[in-house]
Amino acid sequence: MNDDTFRLPGKFDENSHMALIQRRGNLIVGVVQEAPPFTFQNPNTGSWSGFDIGLVQKIAISIFGSQIEGKIAWVPLDPRDRETALGVDRIDLAVGRYEITVARKRRVDFAGPYFTAFQNAVIAQNASSRISGVTELNGQNVCTVVGSTNFEALKAVAPAAVVKTQARTVFECGAELTKGEVVAVVADHVDLRPLVGGTNNKFETLDAKFAPSPYGIGVRKDRTDFRQFLNDQLTGEDVKEAWPELYEQAVPDDDAEQPAVDRY
């Protein structure tokens, strides 16, 4: 959709959640403050950016029409609080690397997925002759990011891998790799990108994507009309046309594609 195209507000059944949002005058979005490149808040200006932010703005247009300024209320949330916030109607939806899991679907519903992440590994270039696949990390010292799903994903495919360090960021893991304390860094494939590249880089990607993680839009459990509406937007022409450009802006030169939604 051309950004200059004028759009009228959507028309909905008066008892639908979308009509409630229209009457209230804003879409309330629970969002993780530091989940770049998907969601990120500028600490100086308070403005939001990222791939998920762009998608939510497209969805807001389908509710309010072209004029959405001031009609999205961004509510910063700790990731651990998202299910509770949805359950008590503090927010309409939640985004920001919200992985769709069986455990979470017991408490909330999901529209999407709108993106699929994978785990991958970065190794030192001088280790490439002996490590060509993720299973060869068995018996090797590895660094993962604390609080992520990296550890469990790695253990599922390389159970004998030694997770020597769980660092706060992939950059701290990169420092461990530089010092030779570990032979690999395992993380989300998007997070690993900053470690590889540049003229003096000594790391390379193992190119062994595993453990796919679908990201979805969280909604209150059994709010079927709203979930179906969000899925309709994700599969509609506006989002399908905008998806590649929004992703390229957030993650340049990655070959990701929009996945099919799960209309459960």
Quick one: 68 and 94 in the same domain? yes
Instruction: Decide if pLDDT at 147 tops 80.
Output: no
pLDDT at 121: 95
Q: What is the DSSP string of 31-70?
A: E-SEETTTEEE-TTT--EESHHHHHHHHHHHHHH-S--TT
Helix (H) or strand (E) holding 87: helix 82-87
**pTM score over 0.85:** yes
Question: 10 in a domain, yes or no?
Answer: no
Quick one: 104 and 26 in the same domain? yes
Quick one: 28 and 104 in the same domain? yes
pLDDT at 199: 63
Quick one: 141 and 162 in the same domain? yes
Query: What's the whole-number average pLDDT of the chain?
Result: 92
Instruction: Decide if pLDDT at 182 tops 70.
Output: yes
Q: Which of 39-43, 127-131, 157-161, 162-166 has the lowest mean pLDDT?
A: 127-131
Quick one: 110 and 25 in the same domain? yes
Return d(Cα 231, Cα 228) in angstroms, integer.
5
Return d(Cα 5, Cα 33) in angstroms, integer.
30
Confidence of residue 1 (pLDDT cuts 50, 70, 90): very low
Return d(Cα 127, Cα 130) in angstroms, integer.
6
Quick one: 111 and 239 in the same domain? yes
Question: 64 in a domain, yes or no?
Answer: yes
Instruction: Decide if pLDDT at 4 tops 70.
Output: no
Question: 256 in a domain, yes or no?
Answer: no
Quick one: 195 and 84 in the same domain? no
Question: 94 in a domain, yes or no?
Answer: yes
Question: 185 in a domain, yes or no?
Answer: yes
Quick one: 110 and 22 in the same domain? yes
Tally the domains of the chain.
2
Quick one: 98 and 228 in the same domain? yes
Please give the average per-residue pLDDT across 105-118, as a whole number: 97
pLDDT at 148: 78
Quick one: 225 and 188 in the same domain? no
Q: In what order do the strands lie in the sheet with 34-35?
A: 34-35, 39-41, 48-49
Helix (H) or strand (E) holding 229: helix 224-235
Return d(Cα 13, Cα 163) in angstroms, integer.
53
Question: 12 in a domain, yes or no?
Answer: no
Quick one: 197 and 242 in the same domain? no
pLDDT at 2: 46
Q: How far is CA 46 from each of CA 43, 77, 89, 198, rounded to the nearest angstrom?
A: 5, 15, 24, 31
In percent, the amount of the chain with pLDDT more than 70 equals: 97
Helix (H, G, I), strand (E, B) or coil at 169: coil
Q: How far is CA 170 from each of CA 102, 120, 176, 264, rounded to the nearest angstrom?
A: 27, 12, 10, 35
**CATH, residue 195:** 3.40.190.10
Look up the domain containing 95 and give its range: 17-116+214-250
Quick one: 87 and 155 in the same domain? no
Question: 260 in a domain, yes or no?
Answer: no
Question: 258 in a domain, yes or no?
Answer: no
